[in-house]
Structure 1
Amino acid sequence: MDNYSLSVFADYNQIFVNDRSKVELYFPVWSEMDYFAMLHNDANGVVISTLRNMEVEVFINVCAERPGMSNADWDQVVESYLFLPTGKLVVSGTTDFLQDSFQLDVPIGGYHMLVCFSGLNSISENGLDGNDQYHVFLWKGERLIENVIHKHRSA
C-alpha cells in the first residue's frame, strides 16, 4: 500500500478528490444524502465534507485490494467510487491552485474508495481547533453506489 500524508486547507469545509482532467473550479450541489454521508460524488469527482473550515490532515492510501479494517476504528466510513481517466489523482481544497495541489500518478481506470473520518469529537466549540482526520483508501474496482457503512452519531 502506498501512503501519503497531506495538510489541506478545507475552505468552505470541502476537500476535492478528482482526476487532473476535472480540476476546474465548480460548486457541487449537495443532496440531503450527501450531507448525511459528508461526501458528494458526481462526474467531476468526489468532495469530502469536513467539520472544520481550516487546515486538516488528509491521508491518501492506494491499495492493491480493499483494506481489512474494523469500522469501529473510525467515527464514520463511506464507500464511494472515483473514475480517473488520465490516471492523475488530485487532492485539493476549494481555493487551491492546481500547481500547489497534491498530485499522484496511478493506473488509469475506476477505483473503489473508502473515506474514513476520525477525530470528529475533537472539534472545539468555535470550530477552529480539532484533531479531525480524513483517510481515503483507493483500489481498482468497478462502479458502485455510494454507501454510508458506519455513521457518526453527531456528524
Structure 2
Amino acid sequence: MMIPTLTVMPDFGMGPFLWVNGPEDNSLGVGGNCCDATGRCGSHPMSDDLFEAFKEWIFEFESASWRPLEANGDSDDWERHALKEPELILDWNSFHARGLELARRLKAEVGANFRVVYEKPMEDPQRRIDEWREIRDDGSVVVLSGRFESSN
C-alpha cells in the first residue's frame, strides 16, 4: 500500500520545515511545503508541543550566520558562491540530531498513515553523508541511498 510522504527538511523563507508528497508523487522531490513557522500545518496532524519544537529548530537554521566570503577567497559573486559552496555556520551534528528527534516525534504522532523522511538541507557541507533517512513505525532510523528508496 502506498502512503503519502512527509519530509522534514529545513529551508529558508518563512520557516518551512515540512513537505508532503502524495502516494503517487515521490518523483517530485520533497513535494510541496505543507508546514512552516508562520502557521499550522493544515490537514497534516501535529500536536502544539511538536509544532513549537519545530519552530525553535527552524528558527535556529534561519538565524545562523554565513561565513564571510573573504575567508573562501571568492567575494565577487555571493549568490553563485553560496549555491556552489554553502558556508552556513551551524553545529550540523547537533542540528541534525534535534531534527531527527523531531522527525521521530512526528512519526509517532502520524503513525502508519504517513511515511516520514528526514532530509539534510543543501547548505550542510556534509549533506551527501546519510542525506536521506526514513523513520520507521517503531522509531528506528534507516539510511536511504536515495530519496525514492523505501526502507520497507
TM-score, scaled to structure 1: 0.27
TM-score, scaled to structure 2: 0.27
- Greater relative contact order (Cα < 8 A, sep 6+): 1
**Greater strand percent: which structure?**
1
Larger-Rg structure: 2
